[in-house]
Chains A and B, each alone.
Chain A
């Protein structure tokens, strides 16, 4: 039921910069609802990585940053590290069907 589309995978060498896109529509990101990003390490609970489009919760390294466009958002990881290998999900809100929270399809980041 994912209405936010992400690339299935991205990869990069240690130290490189990678970006993950999150494409939505006029009923979610395009309607102005904030985008949030989560990191999911194997066997662990999802961790809020970026909130409100580009805010980092306490403890999140500044290597992670978020940005928005009209109907899409992006997560950038600079100075890629081995510990960044995980699944990443975007999340927003969709105002169709009465309104509901929506997540992206997820992106696997591989550190080469």
Chain B
């Protein structure tokens, strides 16, 4: 059974870079035509797609966050990662990692439990 688990610091200082990792278990990150994505949910607000990446690279990002995002994959560890630069309090959110097939019409079929990241000043 495929499982995804987010990890990283729960507190990040304003203006610094948020770094999270998603570890995939129960399956290989290189198997199947799947993209691996990040979604966030600020407290009391809705879900927002951040970006997605294929195991061989080729990330694509939400236009509203594109200038601050870097995503990468480590196939040897079956992990993919997110870096969000220059964070502010508005970046405080629960961050989820998830899987989806390639294509505009696709859904996110497996999700991690989510991890809360709080930006403080």
Contacts and interface: CB of A to CB of B under 8 A. Distances in A.
Interface in B61-77: 62-64
* Chain B contact surface mostly: loop
Contacts of B96: 45-46
Contacts of A46: 47, 96, 98, 108, 111
Interface in A1-25: 1-2
Interface in B3-35: none
Interface in B99-121: 104-109, 111-114
Given A45-B96, A93-B104, A105 B111 contact: no
Interface residues of A, number: 28
B117 to A, nearest CB: 16
Interface string A44-80: 1111100110000100000000000000000000000
Nearest to A47: B111
Given A1-B64, A93-B104, A100-B62, A48 B109 contact: yes
10 closest A-B pairs (Cβ-Cβ)?
A36-B107, A101-B49, A97-B63, A103-B47, A45-B111, A93-B104, A34-B105, A106-B46, A51-B107, A105-B46
